[in-house]
Amino acid sequence: MDFSLNEQQRGWQMEARRFAEEEIRPISLERDRIADPAATIDWDIIRKGSRLGFRTAAVPREWGGHGIDFVTQAVVIAELARGDSAIAKTFSQCWKWCHLIADRCTPEQRDRFLKPFLADDTYLLGGGITEPNAGSDNRLPPPDDPRSGLRLRAEREGDEWILNGEKCFIANANVGKLFFAFTRTNAAAAVGNGTSIFAVPIDTPGVRVGKVFNKSGWRFYQNAELIFDNARVPHANLLGEVNSGLKGHGGKNARFGELEYAANAVGVCDAAVEMATQCARTARRGGRLLAEQQLVQLKLSEMHMYTEALRSYVMRLAAESDADRAQPAPHGHFLMNFSSDAIQRVCYANLAIHTYAGGAAMHSGADKLVRDAIIWTHIAGDSAQRMKSLQGLLKAQPA
Ligand SMILES: Cc1cc2nc3c(=O)[nH]c(=O)nc-3n(C[C@H](O)[C@H](O)[C@H](O)COP(=O)(O)OP(=O)(O)OC[C@H]3O[C@@H](n4cnc5c(N)ncnc54)[C@H](O)[C@@H]3O)c2cc1C
Q: From the alpha carbon of 133, which atom of ligand 1 is closest?
A: 26
- Residue 31 pLDDT grade (very low, low, confident, very high; cuts 50, 70, 90): very high
Same domain, 264 and 372: yes
How many domains does the chain divide into? Answer: 3
The fraction of the chain above a pLDDT of 70, given in percent, is 94
> What CA–CA distance (Å, rounded) separates 104 from 89?
22
Which pairs with CB-CB distance under 8 Å and at least 24 residues apart come from 61-69? 63/110, 63/114, 64/114, 64/118, 65/98, 65/114, 65/118, 68/12, 69/9, 69/318, 69/322
CATH number, position 53: 1.10.540.10
Q: Are residues 164 and 231 in the same domain?
A: yes
Comparing 27-36, 63-72, 249-258, 373-382, which segment has the lowest mean pLDDT? Answer: 249-258
Q: Is the pLDDT of residue 249 over 60?
A: no
Q: Is residue 66 part of a domain?
A: yes
Residue 83 lies in a domain: no
Q: For residues 287 and 219, state if they share a domain.
A: no
Asked whether residue 216 is assigned to any structural domain, the reply reads yes
**What SS3 class is residue 368?**
helix
pLDDT of 178 above 60: yes
- CA neighbor of 269 nearest in space, from 213, 318, 216, 307: 307
What's the pLDDT score for residue 2? 82
Q: Would the CB of 381 count as within 6 Å of ligand 1?
A: yes
Asked whether 170 lines ligand 1 (CB < 6 A), one says yes
Residue at which a domain ends, from 239, 271, 301: 239
Report if residue 244 sits inside a domain. Answer: no
State the Cα–Cα distance between residues 4 and 311, nearest whole angstrom: 13
Residue 158: predicted pLDDT:
96
75 backbone dihedrals φ, ψ, rounded to 5°? -65, -40
Q: Is the CB of 382 under 6 A from ligand 1?
A: yes
* Residues 14-30, mean pLDDT to the nearest whole number: 98
Domain edge (last residue) among 214, 239, 264: 239
Contact criterion met (CB below 8 Å) for 330 and 340: no
Whichever domain contains 337, its CATH number is 1.20.140.10
Q: Letter for the amino acid at 156?
A: R
State yes or no: pLDDT of 206 exceeds 90. Answer: yes
Which residue puts its alpha carbon closest to atom 31 of ligand 1?
136
What confidence score (pLDDT) does residue 43 get? Answer: 98
Of ligand 1's listed atoms, the one at least distance from the Cα of 129 is: 11
Residue 156 pLDDT: 97
Say whether both 99 and 158 belong to one domain: no
Residues 305, 269 contacting (CB under 8 angstroms): no
Query: For ligand 1, is residue 174 a contact (CB within 6 Å)?
Result: no
Give dist(CA 124, CA 116) in Å, integer.
Answer: 10
Confirm whether 222 is domain-assigned. yes
pTM of the entire structure? Answer: 0.95
pLDDT at 197 over 70: yes
Same domain, 288 and 232: no
Q: Look at residue 79 and tell me if it is in a domain.
A: no
Distance CA 306, CA 360 (A): 22
pLDDT band at 160 (very low <50, low <70, confident <90, very high): very high
pLDDT of residue 268: 98
Give the ligand 1 atom nearest the CA of 134. 26
Residue of the nearest CA to atom 1 in ligand 1? 375
Residue 55 CA to ligand 1 centre (angstroms): 26
What Cα–Cα distance (Å) separates residue 65 from each residue in 99, 108, 119, 194?
12, 17, 11, 33
State mean pLDDT over 312-335: 83
231: CATH: 2.40.110.10
Pocket test for ligand 1, best of 40, 41, 136 (most atoms within 8 A of CB): 136
- 162 and 110, same structural domain? no
193 touches ligand 1 (CB under 6 Å): no
| 152 and 57 inside one domain | no
Strand runs labelled E in 43-177: 125-128, 153-157, 160-171
What's the pLDDT tens digit per position in 339-370? 999 999 999 999 999 987 777 788 889 999 99
If asked whether residues 104 and 141 sit together in one domain, one would say no
365 touches ligand 1 (CB under 6 Å): no
Going by pLDDT thresholds of 50, 70 and 90, the confidence category of residue 224 is: very high
Instruction: Kindly indicate the confidence band of residue 135, based on its pLDDT and cuts at 50, 70 and 90.
Output: confident
Would you say the CB of residue 383 lies under 6 angstroms from ligand 1? no
- Its domain, for residue 96, covers 7-71+91-119
Name the least confident of 137-151, 215-229, 292-306, 365-379: 137-151
Tell me: do 178 and 49 sit in the same domain: no
Share of the chain above pLDDT 90, in %: 78
Q: Would residue 59 count as lying in a domain?
A: yes
The answer to whether residues 304 and 367 belong to one domain is yes
User: Residue 363's pLDDT is what?
Assistant: 82
Q: Residue 285: inside a domain, yes or no?
A: yes
Answer yes or no: do 158 and 229 share one domain: yes
Whether 347 and 378 share a structural domain: yes
Q: Which atom of ligand 1 is nearest to the CA of 141?
A: 41
The residue contributing the CA closest to ligand 1 atom 43 is 385
Task: Give the pLDDT mean for 88-113.
Answer: 96
On average, the pLDDT of the chain sits at 92
Q: Is the CB of 136 within 6 Å of ligand 1?
A: yes
Per DSSP, the three-state class of 95 is: helix
The rounded Å distance from CA 225 to ligand 1 centre is: 14
Give the pLDDT band (50/70/90) at residue 137. confident
